[in-house]
Amino acid sequence: MVSLDFLSEKDNQQAGQEVTLLKQLAHPNIVAYYDHYLAEDPIRELVILMEYCEGGELRGKIKDAAKTNPPSWLPETQIMRYFCQTLSALTYVHKMHILHRDLKSSNIFLKNGDKDVCIGDFGISRVLEGTVDAAATVVGTPYYMSPEVCRSEPYSYKSDIWSLGCVLYECCMLKHAFESENLLGLVYKIVSDRYDPIPSQYTQDLESLIARTLDKSAHTRPKGDEIMTISYVKKHMQLLDSDGSGFSGNNTVFL
């Protein structure tokens, strides 16, 4: 429910944009849109009816795992299931020339007993009219901002891939890849610093995948469909196919 009376004209337009986008999207790993309507009493509200994800935010699951002593590390198969499903959804919206621009663990929602994930909150998405268009507005959550966004450079779909890499790292380490007490320090770390290595119980394949998605150069950072060709990722995509859940990264019917 979005209270329109207390929003600026720009924010009112943004709320309408989210509804327009949601109506276009149909993918098993994107929170489903059902309907929307305007309520006028006692205040004007935009009511959006959406799929219920009973597990809440992925961020909550990560924070709960970090609270235990020792930490409750997430199994690699579960991390990769979440990654592949999110990658599938991202690749789908990118093929529709849509940037999410605010992908983070609190915008990824759990369902089916925490077995599956869906991307939500397309409120600051941008539709790119052409395949070579680049956005220029600085938006997103600081912890997940790509180096090119931090440098105020034009950015495109690979900026979402960086954010996905940040979520992947967060699932492994139960903390953000880059942290600082102030925004300037955080920007410096994102642009110039290295992240801590992930725990030794995770495979070299997973470590390499994180390195590829957190490549500081947008030129060499892979696109979503390129990541899907990595043998390690393909193996986990095939596991999604084989379990019969329908939540697959290989759902070409949706592309």
User: CA–CA separation, 113 vs 172, rounded Å?
Assistant: 20
The strand order across the sheet containing 56-57 reads 56-57, 108-111, 116-119
**From CA 89, how far away is CA 255, in angstroms rounded?**
10
Known catalytic residues are 102
Say if CB 228 and CB 92 are below 8 A apart: no
Please give the Cα distance from 205 to 202 (Å, whole number).
8
Longest CA–CA separation in the chain, Å: 57
Contact 41, 103 (CB under 8 A): no
CA 196 → CA 26, 48, 139, 199, distances in Å?
A: 37, 40, 26, 9
